[in-house]
């Protein structure tokens, strides 16, 4: 096992990784930007190293500075967390070049699954269902029109290098497809340095269901079942839960098995998530693979009892996945609310500043993943998520009631948070019935 690990991240996930290291008896080295210099979790680390000023490009996104910190602290491995450099093959490669273990996939596995056209090819070969559409990047307009005629409109144009909904164009007819192809390719070139685009059938009413997986360096892969993340706003998840309500578990099991085979084929080591859209018939279509630990991993931890962050470290150290597929059992229901420092009553305007009041929920079945303490100052430089409130109970209804109870206990001021939005959602009759689609929240907010 590693002696010392550098945590190349900040906020709640840095603290989450630090806790896993402590339980594995690994020394932890935190890095921080000057904007985070007073963050209290830094005091829990064995060492903390300043890597630059507030702007992420000069600190948490700066590969040279992170590698320099890792060499100074003489660590065995780096955990990237989520966001920042976590899905960058060049960072995984830089770690390899410097003989530091990257806690995540190899640059090869990351590249194979990170490029969407390449990922769909791997998926098809493993029996993972994908949307009908172009099998390769679109070479010319006529080819795209031909494929669209075969699969039928509407179609969606996506950037091969894209992700998180950026650079997508929905086309309802041939004329828009022709004009949007050029626009999409130019935008993809400007945004990702890669103008490759592909098209697929567009699904209007869908739910977002994703499968949590782990692969190890010995060729093993397991699935930890699904999460439903349909409640989103501007491609940002707001609430996640597991198991997914109203789902055909037999269909899901087959998709899980194929997804596990896919990451095995890709020689993938670490935590991965395979994202799907599910249609009204309960059929699945893969969107993309996230090659990192995700924000919402705790809901899976609560229903399976498996520590995903610990497992990711053990896997990077060369250990086998510490359990077998047949040992994965689902118990109860878990829900996560992402608490952001934003004002839902003012168009979700960021609400940075000093947190004077911070009275947190607790009690049975309540988990709060946060780096915030009373007096904490939310820096303006980063993502607005300041806490994740996760609850676990025997049934979905009990979990929703428990979440409502926990949200009532949660007092934050004077900054604004998304707590009032969550209070509204957990009592919303449509959401409580289960099975709301990916456009539900934006429709609700517009109404």
**Residues in the site for ligand MV4, rule: CB under 6 A?**
131, 156, 164-165, 200-203, 206, 208, 232, 235, 277, 287-288, 438
Nearest by Cα to 315 from 12, 7, 19, 20: 20
Length of the chain counted residue by residue: 447
Q: How far is the CB of 221 from ligand MV4 (least distance, A)?
A: 22
Q: Which is nearer to ligand MV4, 368 or 385 (CB)?
A: 385
Q: How far is the CB of 437 from ligand MV4 (least distance, A)?
A: 9
The CB-nearest residue to ligand MV4 is 165
Q: CA triplet 407, 274, 403: central angle to 5 degrees?
A: 10
Confirm if 370 and 386 have CB atoms less than 8 A apart: yes
* Cα→Cα distances 74→2, 71, 77, 78, Å: 11, 5, 9, 11
Q: Which is nearer to ligand MV4, 76 or 228 (CB)?
A: 228
Q: How far is the CB of 154 from ligand MV4 (least distance, A)?
A: 8
Q: How far is the CB of 26 from ligand MV4 (least distance, A)?
A: 34
Q: How far is the CB of 443 from ligand MV4 (least distance, A)?
A: 12
Q: Which is nearer to ligand MV4, 22 or 166 (CB)?
A: 166
In angstroms, how far is CA 191 from the centroid of its own chain? 20
Confirm if 100 and 30 have CB atoms less than 8 A apart: no
Catalytic site residues? 292
Q: Which is nearer to ligand MV4, 164 or 318 (CB)?
A: 164
What CA dihedral angle connects 311, 314, 316 and 317, to 10 degrees? Answer: 180
Residue 76: CB partners within 8 Å, gap ≥ 6? 2, 3, 4, 5, 100, 101
Return the sign of the alpha-carbon dihedral for residues 165, 161, 183, 83. Answer: positive
Q: Which is nearer to ligand MV4, 278 or 313 (CB)?
A: 278
Q: Is 47 exposed, middle or buried (CB count within 10 Å of its CB: 0-12, 13-18, 19+)?
A: middle
Q: Which is nearer to ligand MV4, 235 or 433 (CB)?
A: 235
Confirm if 179 and 161 have CB atoms less than 8 A apart: no
Q: How far is the CB of 288 from ligand MV4 (least distance, A)?
A: 5
């Amino acid at each position: 096992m590693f002696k010392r690990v550098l945590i190349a991240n900040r906020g709640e996930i840095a603290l989450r990784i630090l806790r896993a290291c402590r339980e594995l008896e690994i020394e932890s080295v935190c890095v921080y930007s000057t904007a985070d210099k007073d963050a209290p979790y830094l005091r829990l680390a064995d060492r903390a190293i300043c890597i630059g000023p507030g702007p992420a490009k000069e600190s948490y996104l700066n590969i040279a500075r992170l590698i320099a910190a890792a060499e100074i602290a003489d660590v065995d491995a780096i955990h990237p967390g989520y966001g920042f450099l976590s899905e960058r093959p060049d960072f995984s490669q830089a770690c390899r070049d410097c003989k530091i273990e990257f806690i995540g996939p190899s640059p090869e596995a990351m590249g194979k699954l990170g490029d969407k056209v390449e990922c769909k090819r791997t998926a098809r070969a493993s029996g993972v269902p994908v949307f009908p559409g172009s099998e390769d990047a679109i070479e010319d307009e006529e080819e795209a029109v031909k494929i669209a005629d075969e699969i039928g409109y509407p179609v969606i144009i996506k950037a091969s290098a894209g992700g998180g909904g950026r650079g997508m164009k929905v086309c309802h007819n041939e004329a828009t497809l022709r004009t949007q192809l050029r626009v999409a390719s130019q935008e993809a070139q400007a945004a990702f340095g890669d103008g490759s685009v592909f098209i697929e059938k567009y699904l209007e009413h869908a739910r977002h269901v994703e499968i949590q997986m782990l692969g190890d360096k010995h060729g093993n892969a397991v699935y930890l079942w699904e999460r439903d993340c349909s409640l989103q706003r501007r491609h940002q998840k707001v609430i996640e839960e597991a198991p997914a309500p109203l789902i055909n578990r037999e269909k899901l099991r087959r998709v899980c098995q194929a997804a596990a085979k896919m990451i095995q084929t890709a020689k993938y080591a670490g935590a991965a998530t395979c994202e799907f859209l599910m249609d009204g018939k309960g059929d699945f279509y893969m969107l993309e693979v996230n090659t990192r630990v995700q924000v919402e991993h705790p809901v899976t931890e609560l229903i399976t009892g498996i520590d995903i962050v610990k497992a990711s470290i053990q896997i990077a150290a060369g250990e086998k996945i510490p359990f077998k597929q047949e040992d994965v059992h689902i118990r109860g229901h878990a829900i996560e609310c992402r608490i952001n420092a934003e004002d839902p009553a003012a168009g979700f305007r960021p609400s940075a500043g000093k947190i004077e009041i911070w009275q947190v929920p607790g009690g049975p079945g309540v988990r709060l993943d946060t780096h915030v303490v009373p007096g904490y100052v939310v820096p303006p430089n980063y993502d607005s998520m300041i806490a994740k409130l996760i609850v676990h109970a025997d049934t979905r209804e009990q979990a929703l009631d428990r979440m409502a109870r926990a949200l009532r206990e949660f007092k934050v001021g004077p900054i604004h948070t998304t707590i009032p939005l969550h209070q509204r959602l957990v009592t919303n009759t449509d959401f409580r019935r289960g099975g709301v689609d990916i456009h539900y929240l934006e429709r609700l907010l517009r109404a």
